[in-house]
Amino acid sequence: MKKLLVVLLALLVLTGCSSSDDAAKYVAGEYTGVGKGMYPELNVKVIVDEAKIVSVEVTTHAETVGVSDPAIAAIPTAIVEAQSTEVEVVSGATMTSNGIIEAVNNALVEAAAK
């Protein structure tokens, strides 16, 4: 009986500590972020609503055309699909991939609900 009470109390405490699904994750809006790919100043535009990343777009960059194109196409899409910047980089365009991820992270810091 004591074990059951301990388990129930632990569940109650854990439930009280869990975050609410209704809590805003972001302040809805459009945010910009800067990252460094192969060359400085890789810029992104990130649009979020209160709960999710709606879109990511690379707006300006000085990356090598052709080499960076796969990352510029794939990484923003992967971030939106994963709802996270924890995505795989594009082989052959690692620095560009990391620059996009860094820029999006910087934008999401600004978008984070306080």
* Domain locations along the chain: 21-111
Residue 53's contacts (CB-CB under 8 Å, 6 or more residues apart) are 26, 46, 47, 79, 80, 83, 108
Six-digit token string for 67: 């080499």
10 vs 26: CA distance, rounded Å: 30
Domain 21-111 has CATH 3.90.1010.20: yes
pTM (2 decimals)? 0.80
Return the pLDDT at 113. 85
89 vs 105: CA distance, rounded Å: 15
43-95 pLDDT, tens digit per residue, is: 999 999 999 999 999 999 999 999 999 999 999 999 999 999 999 999 999 99
For residue 47, report the phi and psi dihedrals to the nearest 5 degrees: -110, 130
